[in-house]
């Protein structure tokens, strides 16, 4: 899993039919409690908002996080971080 912060959203009017209805968000990875320069696009599976810290799953696990596990995705937001305790 990847800890990240949502930085924006992406509007796509033309996309794979299995992604219709999916919301795309840009996220910035967090490492050692600091924002990095690593950005990615993730499908929002839970309704995250801009500025929120989120958990992202990638690879084959990302497909399993969506209702249609054949959708062509590589990163999905699967959790919103309410509070972080200790060091990661």
Spell out the domain ranges in the chain. 2-80
User: Which stretch of DSSP H or E encloses residue 64?
Assistant: helix 60-64
Tokens of 48: 């995250």
Average pLDDT over residues 3-18: 94
pTM here is 0.89
Given a contact cutoff of 8 angstroms between Cβ atoms, the answer to whether 36 and 29 are in contact is: yes
Alpha carbon 48 to its chain's center = 9
2-80: what CATH class?
mainly beta
Question: What pLDDT, in 10s, does the model give residues 13-48?
Answer: 899 999 988 999 999 999 998 999 999 999 998 999
Report pLDDT for 84.
66
């Amino acid at each position: 899993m990847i800890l990240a912060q949502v930085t924006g959203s992406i509007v796509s009017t033309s996309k794979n039919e299995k992604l219709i209805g999916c919301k795309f968000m840009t996220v910035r990875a967090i490492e050692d409690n600091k924002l990095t320069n690593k950005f990615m696009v993730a499908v929002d599976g839970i309704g995250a908002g801009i500025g929120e810290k989120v958990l992202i799953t990638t690879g084959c696990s990302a497909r399993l996080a969506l209702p249609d596990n054949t959708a062509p995705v590589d990163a999905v937001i699967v959790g919103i971080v309410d509070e972080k305790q200790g060091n990661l």
